[in-house]
Amino acid sequence: MLGAPLRLTIRNYALTSVLLALLVSGCSTVPASGPQGVDVEKRSEGGVPVNLPYATVDVTPQVVKVLADYTPRLSKAFADRTPPKAFRFGVGDIVSVTIFEAAAGGLFTSDTGVRAGNFVTIPNQAVDQSGTITVPYAGPVPAKGRTPAQIESYIVEHLKARALEPQVIVALAQQNTSLVSVLGDVHSAGRFPANPSGERILDYVARAGGPMNQGYDLWVSLERDKHRASVPFGALLYEPANNIYVLPNDVIYLYSQPQTFVAFGAAGQQGQFKFDAWRLSLAEAIGKHQGLNDNLADPSFVFLYRGETREVAARLGVDCSHFEGPIIPIVYHLNLRDPSGYFLAQNFEMRNKDVVYTSNASSVETTKFLTFLRTIMATANDPITYATNGYILKNTINGAATTVITTPTPILAH
């Protein structure tokens, strides 16, 4: 049977081994809402490299300026060209041609049936696939891509040798080309004739009856020459430069897309949050999730997770050669212990599906570990205390000689 000193030595050795193992494992043995700030910056988890490579970028005035340059704007995506000042016919347009002569008895009028004005109107016809219309005695007349005045001059030039001082009026009977399509969340979607005087996006939205949704989630997409760009509807109202001229054959599409972000870590409230505005800054986003938890957060480690294009990442100083694909994972680091960090947060614009993460303070993780350690020690110590108390109680009941035994104070886990 083992002696008391040997049993005590074994027990102490076991406890020491457990404590050493816990100390080596560190804070990874305790619950946490996410990585420590230093691990995010080192791109590691307890010294082990992360599974997905990413770049870290400190939020500075220069970074905020670069991101502002890449904010979606129609004025940058498309040149704000004014539409053509004169209408030009296209294939399928219906053309009306009226020919006047100076007197009766000409090519198109007779002496016996004089009409007032001595004119004749040719039946309406569409511009055919070859881009022409037909006028008697003038032959095929090129019409595609020409203005009414150009077609009139062409017809007069080819009739003046046969008709009596001919004059020609060419008019658009029905416009089937040079249309603008307005689709999506509008009251009267359809195709509208392009106005040569020049109209902007909001003008065509008004012609389509206006948007059906007056909320902050409305977006406008403009497609032109196989190129598409989208902006919030509010950008057309509050940034007039986005309300560019519409050109023939443009497509305008209005749609609803709620913008959201998620907050994790030592935030005042974790979860998914709506922008509820056409534009939201990082400072406003932090306010939406009720700021930082004063008992947990380390304000020097506020992170925003987002994917950026290779062009933007390069402008931010990221070495893109270590990454594959068109999108570079980037973690923006904001230090809110620095008083100026709040100005940067005001100017840092949020985007749809951004992730905001706030790291716990290192003291919080240490407190968690010490609490866990006290629980382990209490678990090992409590059976010894109970056994000692039972031994004293047994001797007392049997009337045995009283033996003074000093027992350790129980360790309570909090």
Q: What is the pLDDT of residue 365?
A: 64
Output the pLDDT for position 3: 46
pLDDT at 261 over 50: yes
H-helix or E-strand containing 169? strand 167-174
* Nearby residues of 345 by Cβ (< 8 Å), 6 or more positions away: 59, 281, 282, 283, 286, 334, 336
Lookup: tokens for 156: 């007069």
Q: Say how far apart CA 5 and CA 27 lie, in whole Å.
A: 34
pLDDT at 24: 46
Q: What is the pLDDT of residue 115?
A: 58
Which DSSP symbol is given to 135? E
Q: Which two tokens stand for residue 8?
A: 């005590």
What lies within 8 Å, CB to CB, of 137 at 6+ separation is 107, 158, 159, 162, 163
Secondary structure (H, E, C), 180-239 = EEEEECECCCEEEECCCCCCEHHHHHHHCCCECCCCCCEEEEEEECCEEEEEEHHHHHHC
Instruction: Please give the share of the chain, as a percent, with pLDDT higher than 70.
Output: 81
Query: The tokens 């949704």 sit on which residue?
Result: 213
Tell whether the model's pLDDT for residue 80 goes beyond 80. no
The reported pLDDT for the residue numbered 10 is 46
pLDDT tens-digit series, residues 12-62: 544 555 555 555 444 455 666 678 888 888 876 555 677 888 999 999 999
pLDDT band at 106 (very low <50, low <70, confident <90, very high): confident
Separation CA 149–CA 130 (nearest Å): 20
> Distance between CA atoms of 209 and 192, rounded to whole angstroms?
12
Could you tell me the two tokens for 348? 């840092």
- Quote the pLDDT of residue 385: 75
What residue ranges define each of the domains in the chain, with the CATH number in brackets?
Answer: 4-29+366-398 (no CATH), 37-71+260-364 (3.10.560.10), 74-82+178-256 (3.10.560.10), 94-174 (3.30.1950.10)
pLDDT digits (tens, 9 = 90+) for 305-358: 999 999 999 999 999 998 999 999 999 999 999 999 999 999 999 999 999 999
pLDDT at 396: 78
Confirm if 341 and 335 have CB atoms less than 8 A apart. Answer: yes
CB 80 within 8 A of CB 229: no
- Residue whose tokens read 């360790």: 411
**pLDDT score, position 103:** 82
Beta-carbon contacts of 151 under 8 Å, excluding residues fewer than 6 positions away, are 89, 95, 133, 141, 142, 143, 168, 170
Q: Report the alpha-carbon distance of residue 205 to residue 192 in Å, rounded.
A: 10
Q: What percent of the chain has pLDDT over 90?
A: 57
**pLDDT of res. 6:** 43
Q: Are 201 and 246 in contact (CB under 8 A)?
A: yes
Task: Answer yes or no: is pLDDT of 387 > 90.
Answer: no
Label residue 324 exposed, middle or buried (CB < 10 Å: 0-12, 13-18, 19+): exposed
Task: Please compute the mean of the pLDDT values over residues 254-273 and round it to a whole number.
Answer: 93
Structure tokens, 74: 């129609």
pLDDT surpassing 70 at residue 229: yes
Distance in angstroms (rounded) separating the CA atoms of residues 375 and 414: 8
List 135's β-bridge partners, or say none: 139
Overall residue count recorded for the chain in this entry = 414
Determine the Cα–Cα distance for residues 380 and 378; give it in Å rounded to an integer: 5
**Average pLDDT of the residues of the chain:** 84
State yes or no: pLDDT of 196 exceeds 60.
Answer: yes
Predicted confidence at residue 379, as pLDDT, reads 74
In angstroms, the CA 264 to CA 271 distance is 7
- Angle (CA) 101 106 111, round 5°: 110
